[in-house]
Amino acid sequence: MTETIIGIDLGTTNSLSASVFEEGPEIIGTAQDACMVPSLLSRTGNGWLVGEEARARLISSPTNSVYSVKRLMGRGLEELEEEIRELPYQVEAAQRKLVKIRLGEESFTPQELSSVILSRIKEKAEKLLERTIEKAVITVPAYFDDAQRQATRDAGKIAGLDVVRIINEPTAAAIAYGLDEKKQGYVAVYDLGGGTFDISILELKGKLFKVVATHGDTRLGGDDIDRVLVTLFTQSLLDQYPNLDLEDPSSRQILRKTAEEVKIALSGSMEVEYILELPEKRIKHRGQLKADELSRQIEPLLKRTFDSCAKALSDAGLKHGDIDEVVLVGGSTLVPAVRKGVESFFGRTPHVAIDPYKVVAIGAAIQGHLLAGGRRDFLLLDVVPLALGIETLGGTFSKVITANTSLPAEESEVFTTHVDQQTSIEINIFQGERELVQDCRSLGRFKLRGIPPMKAGFPLVEVTFRVDSNGLLTVSAYEKRSGTEAQIEVIPSHGLTQMEIDAIMEASFEHAVDDFNQRQLIEFKQTAERVFRGIQMNWKIAEEILDEDQRFSIQKQMEIVKQKMTSEDSQILKAELDALGNLTRPLADSAMGRAVLEELQQQNP
Amino acid sequence: MSEEPSHSRCCERCGTELVSCLFCFDCSSLQPLSPSTNYFYALGIPDGFELDLTLLEEQFRQIAGELHPDFYMNSSSAEKKLSGRASTLLNQAYDNLKDSFKRATYLMRLKGKGLEWNERVLPPGFLEEMFSLQEELDAMLEKQDQPGLKRFQDLLDKRRRGLESGLIPLFRMLESVKELEVVLEQLQMKLNAERYLQSLLDRIQVEETT
């Protein structure tokens, strides 16, 4: 049997996992108990609450709770200004260009927070599949750059998962559909998720799947529909209570939660009645909303998605009519207005055979199955999504690998020094499509040392970019005239170093030890109390069968155990409990003997 | 570097003559890589500037569908590595042959081995013309003159296609004449000119995406 590589859709609002079974690919578990976790977290004194169990705390303890952590993955504070303003939790700058989320006294990187969700998924999958899971294919939005992909990989690593492949969400959806229906031709995948919009056009030909164009908007998604609704609710509340302040975290959460519920309800009916309850303000407000009104309000949002679609088509050199199939992904595509809009834009009825919530995880599971050696009848040809290159003189971006190059890829460029006798060059690695590095994403930098001193322009430094089939970038360099091999230190700008990952893993391991200690402490205290009760109940027997010294030792040891019960170390308590057990053994033996004897007498009158 | 006798090698394992030097379709085995792999042989298509793009595409799909590292995840580390390197090479071969200017450059390097490669030779009058075009472009970018930029882009595209159609007769001549150097220099001029045009086109595309 091949090993199991599960597929995980690590989403902005929900995360879920699928696997390939004998009957085919499916979400792990049953409809009642599926391997699905809302992407919510809450920090308590005793550790994490994850998923559904954290939901209530979004409202009761908003500053200790986190949602939409995916939006922060692999990004710096300066890029996140707009997002942060919308979030009730605190985001702060950390080392390099990393951010951390402050929850009470502690702060965590987005990678750590995502790893908590992944750990939960892993645990659940293991329980449901009854086997250990070590490897996974995780999906990310098509527009994710290298730093964001790396952050996702690191989150997996922290959760104890070997992320054997990162694939694009729309690509995963196309795999699930294409293989399900044996389709050929051009497939457009329209993905409107919680926080982001993606359009991808894939070509399915023979056994090869190839992404021919992607476009997207990182700040457009179901949350924006919620926001439109929140604005409507706020207006409706302010009409009635003109001086109401709705900016506090708790009110914002209540408005957001109601908006989500109303949106979902409107997918199934023409009109919905809602109640806004703000207990802190002693307000219970009723209102109603028509589906038509929502459609009208989200029109501008949809227009933005279709602008992206048009760009993707033109990048692929295709016309609307060339698209053979349209696939919908993401919970927001359940909104009827969205479906109608997509249908009229492409002139084709979109596919809805596979649940848009599940399709991405299922596609990832199919890719996992292939990587595990389970099938070889299709192949996903992945490409470099955005050009990779280095900074050259004057802050210009010099591309080494261009966008859409098939993976695995390798390219070299030769560069030189600008100053006489220069013995080292700093190489700054960027990703993007623009002319100046200031408009591209910084992926990291490294220093090439040990160049023999020469006149400026004389050294020939060959910089080689390699991107393996898993999308992992490695950059190396050597000076050709002297043959000096470069010493390379890659310092990720938005990512974690291996040392940092190790430290987090160790800390979470220590944490696990802590948790274990806590549980044992509780257990041993309970045992101690039971033992005390037993001794008291049998003290009469003790007076009969034990001498005074023995009884004194037991009483002294009981005092010691009582004292240790207030300590925090479960192992010390256990040692003293064991000692008490040894002292009371003769008593226990005889107490048991007597109980047995009494029982025997009852049975034989 | 001696030119590999292209398109005539046998499978290391079963001895069948190979269509692509990267993979034997008869016994499904990866082939050892040689340091000077011919891109045409990697893709199993005949040498030459004029090629059948449909065949190129078909061959690429066929071979990529066998070589890809995804199919060797559970193989020995040597095979895993080989499939990665062979796939990288196949991708490079495909990228270099698909585009006619890249293909021309590759072929010139093959044919003109040992010749000094002159990056600067350009068709007579080309540079002067480009200088004035560049000034025009700068002004249009400055003003964000979108219709003007579009016209300019079409003009450059046309020039590029003109250069492209001029390549075929030169490559045909290369097959028949003795004075390779003269023809090669002509080719070089065209390729250098194309690079120049491309750099101008890149600037326009950059502005479009902002």
Residue A387 confidence (pLDDT): 86
Same domain, A573 and A527: yes
Q: Give B172 to chain A, closest Cα distance, Å.
A: 30
Q: Which of A315-324, A468-477, B1-10 shows the lowest per-residue confidence on average (mean pLDDT)?
A: B1-10
Sort strands A24-27 and A36-38 into parallel, antiparallel or unpaired.
unpaired
Same domain, A142 and A216: yes
Domain C-terminal end among A445, A464, A495: A495
State the total domains in chain A.
4
Q: Give B178 to chain A, closest Cα distance, Å.
A: 34
B108 domain-assigned: no
In this model, does residue A37 exceed pLDDT 90?
yes
In this model, does residue A123 exceed pLDDT 60?
yes
Same domain, A231 and A135: no
**Where in A255-335 does DSSP place strands (E)?**
271-278, 283-290, 325-329
Same domain, A339 and A409: no
Share of chain A above pLDDT 70, in %: 93
Q: Which residues of A touch B206 (CB under 8 A)?
A: 433-435
Residue A494 confidence (pLDDT): 63
Same domain, B91 and B147: no
**Residue closest to A564 by CA, chosen among A582, A553, A576:** A576
Same domain, B67 and B133: no
Q: Which of A164, A165, A203, A208 to mutate to test the interface with B (most CBs of B within 10 A)?
A: A208
Cα A476 to Cα A514: distance, rounded to the nearest angstrom: 42
Residue whose structure tokens are 């005539």:
B8
Q: Which has the higher per-residue pLDDT, A54 or A113?
A: A113
Same domain, B91 and B131: no
- For A76, the domain range is 5-221+298-381
Q: Which residues of A touch B209 (CB under 8 A)?
A: 433-434
Domain C-terminal end among A381, A398, A426: A381
In single-letter form, the type of residue at position B75 comes to S
Q: Which has the higher per-residue pLDDT, A145 or A603?
A: A145
In this model, does residue B154 exceed pLDDT 60?
yes
Same domain, A459 and A589: no
Same domain, A435 and A531: no
A414/B contact by beta carbon, under 8 A? no
Residue B108 confidence (pLDDT): 85
Q: Which of A399, A406, A411, A464 to mutate to test the interface with B (most CBs of B within 10 A)?
A: A406
Q: Which structure tokens are listed for A300?
A: 């501008």
DSSP line for A363-430: HHHHHHHHHTTS--S-EEE-B-SS-EEEEEGGGEEEEEE-TTPBSSEEEEEEE--SSTT---EEEEEE
Q: Is A373 left (phi over 0), alpha (psi -120 to 50) or beta?
A: left
State the total domains in chain B.
2
A372/B contact by beta carbon, under 8 A? yes
Q: Which residues of A touch B84 (CB under 8 A)?
A: 408, 468-469
In this model, does residue A163 exceed pLDDT 70?
yes
Residue A305 confidence (pLDDT): 93
Residue A160 confidence (pLDDT): 93
A92/B contact by beta carbon, under 8 A? no
Same domain, A179 and A324: yes
Residue A117 confidence (pLDDT): 96
| Confidence label for A246 from pLDDT (cuts 50, 70 and 90) | confident
Instruction: Please indicate whether, in this complex, the C-beta atoms of A379 and B74 are within 8 angstroms of each other.
Output: no
Region A255-259: mean pLDDT is 88
Same domain, A341 and A428: no
The average confidence (pLDDT) of chain A is 85
Same domain, B132 and B192: yes
- For B39, the domain range is 23-98
Collect all residues from B whose CB is shorter than 8 A from any CB in A.
61, 64-65, 68-71, 73-74, 84, 87-88, 91-92, 94-95, 202-203, 206, 209-210
Q: Which has the higher per-residue pLDDT, A118 or A85?
A: A118
- The domain that holds A227 is classified in CATH as 3.90.640.10
Same domain, A203 and A237: no
Q: Which of B56, B70, B153 to mutate to test the interface with A (most CBs of A within 10 A)?
A: B70
Domain C-terminal end among A461, A495, A529: A495
- The domain that holds A170 is classified in CATH as 3.30.420.40
Q: Which has the higher per-residue pLDDT, A85 or A132?
A: A132
- The domain that holds B76 is classified in CATH as 1.10.287.110
Same domain, B27 and B88: yes
B67 domain-assigned: yes
Domain C-terminal end among B98, B114, B146: B98
Domain C-terminal end among B98, B117, B145: B98
Residue A557 confidence (pLDDT): 92
Same domain, A267 and A239: yes
ipTM, 2 dp: 0.84
Residues 42-81 of A with CB under 8 A from B: none
Region A481-504: mean pLDDT is 69
Same domain, A407 and A552: no
Same domain, A210 and A302: yes
